[in-house]
Amino acid sequence: MAAFLARRLAWGVLVLLMVAILTFFLSRVVPADPAAFLAGQNASEATVARIRAEYGLDQPLAVQFGRYLGGLAVGDFGQSLRTHRPVAVDLAQFLPATLELLIVSFLVYVTVSFFLAVAAARHPSGWVDACIRLFTMLGTGIPVFWLGMALQFVFFYRLHWLPLSGRYPIREIAPPSITGFLLIDAALAGKPIAVWRALQSLTLPALTIVLNLLAVGTRMSRAALIAEYDRPYIRTARGKGVSARAILYRHVLRNVLSAVLAVTTMQFGYMLSWVILVEVIFGWPGIGLYAYQSFQVFDYAPVIALAMVSTAGFVVINLLMDLLYPLIDPRVRRIAA
Amino acid sequence: MTTKAKWAFAIAVVLAAVLHGAGSRADDPSTLVWADAGEPSTIDPAKANINWELTVTRNVYDRLVNFDLSKPAKLEPALATSWTQDGTAWTFKLRDGVKFHDGSPFGAADVKASIDRLLRIGQGQSYLVADITNVTVVDPQTVKIETKGPNVFLAGNLSRIEIIAKADIDKHAGDADKGDAWFGEHANGTGPYAFVAWTRGAQIELKRNAGWWGGFPKGAFDRVIDRFVGDGASRGRGLEGGEFDLASFVPRDDALRIGHSAGFHAVEGNNLWAWPALYLNMELKPTSNPDFREALVRAFDYSAMIKYFQGGAETGRGPVPSWFPGSPENSEPPIATDLAAAKAALARSGLAGASFTCSVPSGFPEFSFAATVLQSSAAQIGVKVQIDEQPFVQAITAIKEDKSNCFVLGNANLSPTDATKFFAAHYLKGGFFNSGKFYDAGLEATMAKIPTIADEAERNALLKQAFETVVNAHYIIWAARPTTVIPEPDRIEGYRIDPAEYINVRFWEIHAK
């Protein structure tokens, strides 16, 4: 197991290095001068040159890359030209908002897609199955930006049920930031209403992500469940009078869990890419919005940092799933042994 | 009713009760929410340069003088109560009893320290006062400012320069960056609103400075939230839905619609010098040919732009709009579409059938539309235009590096009275927006001379000469000059269009009805 872990970790580091190289050089081929932006529209050439030197942008590309890699090795992602702060400090501030959105969306997605898949698989081609398929296909078929805006239109503009954007109602005082996870901070502050307000703000962005992912997860899980239900041992169990609930939980689910887990892992990767768009639409102050705003002014360091963090997230999730497989499936345990 | 149905009904009732009102404007009449188009990169008055940075600096800090938004040429006392010019020296008498938000007193030393620091850094609005050579503290309530040559516009330009506390500069003088980072995210001014907190990625909170010398109208807001909302359509929706009280840069169609809908009114005014303007590259073929440029100026369909702005625009006759003090525009001939003249100019150029690329900054629908109008207008005379839409910095870099022949931009002037600063940025050598590299030695000399002339009529005559130089060079296609529209809810009043800045907000003038 240790060798397996070491191998996977080595691969993870290699992938991160490749991403660092690729994003660094891609960001440098864009023909724009971030120092000119930073200096302001009416600054003199001398001022622009001074800023270029301050941020090391006047150095040859190889030198800039060497410095960047050296910094990465000690957790230094460089300095943001836009916020004038170390990127690591910005990431520490914005990452919890993104993680909170991702974790809540992921949990909702896994739960909802599971129940929908079970409901659909119990009566394949029935009307429940048809409705679920239609609903999930609609969610996936609609572009994420349009879906987000449509949800804003209905739940904010028309119904006034949920806030338009942000993590917390604008006019109210948010609980003090302790962990950066607003739901947790609100709970720590002992204010149930603050937890509720944070949940309200979270609802539409999370719903946008969940609805966009639901079709794939539901359909894959449904297919796996139907295939499992069709196996001879299930027919035997039914013949023996085992209850439908017991068949589902004791037999079918245990056998399809690996397949469902594989799909879910892939979906988490998609969530990481969707989150940028969703954060922009809902003004969600996470790393996606941070990178988007930075990219607009050619502030390279945050963009590269986002790519690195997303890749690292994907690598870690995959690693966790690899570790989970043997625990949930004895067949994998035997192969590994 | 079955048990399940009863449960469902109960849950629905509870949800409806809890959810109701979550997305609507809270019952909080003392707070104003301003939806801004971006998050400041800095709130340092020596560096602030973009509208959403100026939102904070304009309201937290004071200036030596202000100007009347209705009559930009009329300067009003602010931190200075009177001023006089004597050749290259200006003397400002300062207001007594003014305090910074931290309670420390304001005086002449603060003015000197602020201007010295601004000139050292050389960013933000420093270009407006770059000719200052010396600032002297005459006494605690008097300051003398000297310029390279006589400058009649200095007082007007100081209406854009914020004053910070010398004590704050001194406190951070030992920092490696001499306090630049501190000023970037803290603010201690004398202005109508005091800085409270900056929640990164979300908003900046300000509170009313009850002891402000200027006084507030009845119904002024105690608390202001400057909310960062990057998407224009979202700002419009939030304004309509009551989440925001006012919003900047709402797309024009939405602004007009919201401004004329029930519960809102539209505040309209002039401040744009051209929006959009198409800059032509003076050094890259085929636009380096003056006849070719004239052909494009004459072929352009100006009426399409007026229709685009739903009639709320005019076609400029040159670089300086008629409402700017001293503008010669009304005495100049109009610029209009003339295909016959365009074809004749094209024939003179010898570049029939030529093609070129036009770089358009993305995110501005009116810029993209103007580029499309250029494309179709040019096609009428057999010229092919390829549109290349890119982020702003990339687009302007393309024309500056001669990879594009054309660049689309909108512009306004930050000085209420001084046109030379606008010319410097757009038409003089090295000007940031002089993307097409226009150069005229006579114009350079004229612009250097205008501020030194005391006689207004003589200054205006030179401005007219400069105006005509730029028009006759056919360097720019002034596609349209629309009015600026800000939708204001009927429950609020006091927002006024700043004639010397595209979107500027004076929170101290806005109040509940």
For residue A301 the two structure tokens come to: 């360091």
Please check whether residues B364 and B465 belong to one and the same domain. yes
Q: Which residue of A has its CA nearest to B204?
A: A170
Q: Label residue B215 left, alpha or beta by phi (over 0 means left) and psi (-120 to 50 means alpha).
A: left
- The single-letter code of the amino acid at A286 is G
Please check whether residues B320 and B402 belong to one and the same domain. yes
Name residue B313's beta-bridge partners: B482
Interface of A with B in 81-120 (CB under 8 A): 81-84, 90, 93-94, 97
Contact between B507 and B193 (Cβ < 8 Å): yes
Which of A57, A89, A160 has the highest number of chain B CBs within 10 A, making it the mutation to test binding with B? A160
Q: How far is B497 from chain A (nearest CA, A)?
A: 22
For chain B, the domain total comes to: 3
CB contact under 8 A, A40 and B397: no
CB contact under 8 A, B403 and A31: yes
Total residues found in chain A within this entry: 337
The boundaries of the domain holding residue B265 are 31-44+191-269+485-512
Angle at B90 between CA B89 and CA B94, to 5 degrees: 145
Q: How far is B171 from chain A (nearest CA, A)?
A: 20
CA separation for the pair B34, A314 (Å, rounded): 38
The answer, yes or no, to whether ipTM is higher than 0.90 is no
Please check whether residues B212 and B254 belong to one and the same domain. yes
Please check whether residues B276 and B235 belong to one and the same domain. no
For residue B64 the two structure tokens come to: 């030596």
Contact between B226 and B204 (Cβ < 8 Å): yes
Please check whether residues B153 and B214 belong to one and the same domain. no
CA separation for the pair A303, A28 (Å, rounded): 12
Lateral strand order in the sheet of B132-139: B80-86, B89-94, B142-147, B132-139
Q: Where are the beta strands (DSSP E) in chain A?
A: none
Q: Which residue of A has its CA nearest to B224?
A: A171
Q: Model-level pTM greater than 0.90?
A: no
Is residue B127 situated within a structural domain?
A: yes
CB contact under 8 A, B22 and A47: no
CB contact under 8 A, B41 and A38: yes
Contact between A217 and A261 (Cβ < 8 Å): no
Q: Which residue of A has its CA nearest to B238?
A: A164
Please check whether residues B206 and B295 belong to one and the same domain. no
Is residue B406 situated within a structural domain?
A: yes
CB contact under 8 A, A32 and B33: no
Q: What are phi and psi of A236, to 5 degrees?
A: -60, -45
Of A26-35, A206-215, A284-293, B376-385, give the range with the top mean pLDDT.
B376-385
Q: Which residue of A has its CA nearest to B127?
A: A42
Question: How many other CB atoms are found less than 10 A from the CB of residue B362?
Answer: 14
Please check whether residues B351 and B226 belong to one and the same domain. no
Q: Which residue of B has its CA nearest to A291?
A: B201
Question: How many other CB atoms are found less than 10 A from the CB of residue B302?
Answer: 22
> B132-139 and B89-94 as β-strands: parallel, antiparallel, unpaired?
unpaired
Q: Which residue of A has its CA nearest to B30?
A: A171
* R_g (Cα) of chain A, nearest Å: 24
CB contact under 8 A, B234 and A157: no
Tell me, yes or no, if A2 comes closer than 8 A to chain B by beta carbon. no
CB contact under 8 A, B201 and A30: no
Please check whether residues B353 and B445 belong to one and the same domain. yes
Distances (CA, A) of B465 to B278, B298, B426, B471: 22, 21, 16, 10
Contact between B367 and B408 (Cβ < 8 Å): yes
**Which residues of chain B are modeled with pLDDT < 50?**
13, 17, 20-21, 23-26
pLDDT at B11: 57
CB contact under 8 A, A160 and B240: no
The beta-carbon neighbor of B393 closest among A171, A174, A298 is A298
CB contact under 8 A, B122 and A156: no
Is residue B52 situated within a structural domain?
A: no
Q: What is the DSSP letter of B332?
A: S
Q: What is the mean pLDDT of residues A123-145?
A: 84
Is there a cis peptide before residue B276, judged by omega within 30 degrees of 0? yes
pLDDT at B228: 94
Tell me, yes or no, if A219 comes closer than 8 A to chain B by beta carbon. no
CA separation for the pair A54, B122 (Å, rounded): 15
Tell me, yes or no, if A44 comes closer than 8 A to chain B by beta carbon. yes
CB contact under 8 A, A161 and B230: no
Q: List chain A residues with CB under 8 Å of B26.
A: 169, 171-172
Please check whether residues B240 and B152 belong to one and the same domain. no
Q: Which residue of B has its CA nearest to A283?
A: B229
Which position has the token pair 């209705």?
B70
Chain-centroid distance, C-alpha A255: 27
The beta-carbon neighbor of B234 closest among A155, A164, A297 is A164
pLDDT at B27: 53
pLDDT at B364: 85
Please check whether residues B251 and B293 belong to one and the same domain. no
CB contact under 8 A, A43 and B230: no
Q: What is the mean pLDDT of residues A203-221?
A: 88
pLDDT at B23: 45
How many beta-carbon pairs under 8 angstroms link A with B? 157
Contact between A185 and A176 (Cβ < 8 Å): yes
CA separation for the pair A275, A264 (Å, rounded): 16
Q: List chain B residues with CB under 8 Å of A276.
A: none
CB contact under 8 A, A170 and B227: yes
Please check whether residues B442 and B328 belong to one and the same domain. yes
Is residue B386 situated within a structural domain?
A: yes
B235, B241, B244, B246: CA torsion to nearest 10? 70
CB contact under 8 A, A170 and B433: no
pLDDT at B24: 45
* R_g (Cα) of chain B, nearest Å: 25
Residue B350 neighbours by CB under 8 Å, 6+ apart? B289
Q: Where are the beta strands (DSSP E) in B286-379?
A: 313-314, 355-361
Name residue B89's beta-bridge partners: B86, B146
Is residue B439 situated within a structural domain?
A: yes
Name residue B83's beta-bridge partners: B92
Is residue B121 situated within a structural domain?
A: yes
CA separation for the pair B499, B82 (Å, rounded): 23
Q: How far is B429 from chain A (nearest CA, A)?
A: 11
CB contact under 8 A, A280 and B231: yes
Cα maximum dimension of chain A: 87
Tell me, yes or no, if A36 comes closer than 8 A to chain B by beta carbon. yes
Tell me, yes or no, if A281 comes closer than 8 A to chain B by beta carbon. yes
Q: What is the DSSP letter of B414?
A: S
Render the burial of B107-137: b for 16+ CB within 10 Å, e for the rest.
bbbbbbbbbebbbebbbbbbbbbbbbeebeb
The beta-carbon neighbor of A166 closest among B18, B39, B202 is B202
Q: Label residue A40 left, alpha or beta by phi (over 0 means left) and psi (-120 to 50 means alpha).
A: left
> B193-199 and B203-208 as β-strands: parallel, antiparallel, unpaired?
antiparallel
CB contact under 8 A, A156 and B237: yes
Q: Which residue of B has its CA nearest to A148?
A: B234
Is residue B305 situated within a structural domain?
A: yes
pLDDT at A213: 84
Is residue B13 situated within a structural domain?
A: no
| CATH number of residue B107's parent domain | 3.90.76.10
- The single-letter code of the amino acid at B441 is A
Rounded to the nearest integer, the mean pLDDT of chain A is: 86
| CATH number of residue B36's parent domain | 3.40.190.10
- The single-letter code of the amino acid at B309 is F
Interface of A with B in 151-170 (CB under 8 A): 152-153, 155-157, 159-170
| CATH number of residue B432's parent domain | 3.10.105.10
Please check whether residues B222 and B295 belong to one and the same domain. no
CA separation for the pair B207, B203 (Å, rounded): 13
Which position has the token pair 């290699």?
A14
Q: Which domains does chain A have, with CATH numbers?
A: 87-295 (1.10.3720.10)
pLDDT at B296: 98
For residue B47 the two structure tokens come to: 């560096």
Q: Which residue of A has its CA nearest to B239?
A: A157
pLDDT at A17: 87
Tell me, yes or no, if A222 comes closer than 8 A to chain B by beta carbon. no
A107, A113, A116, A118: CA torsion to nearest 10? -100
Nearest to B282, CA basis, from B468, B396, B430, B437: B437
pLDDT at B26: 46
DSSP B256-276: HHHHTSTTEEEEEE--EEEEE
Is pLDDT above 80 for A30? no
Contact between B421 and B431 (Cβ < 8 Å): no
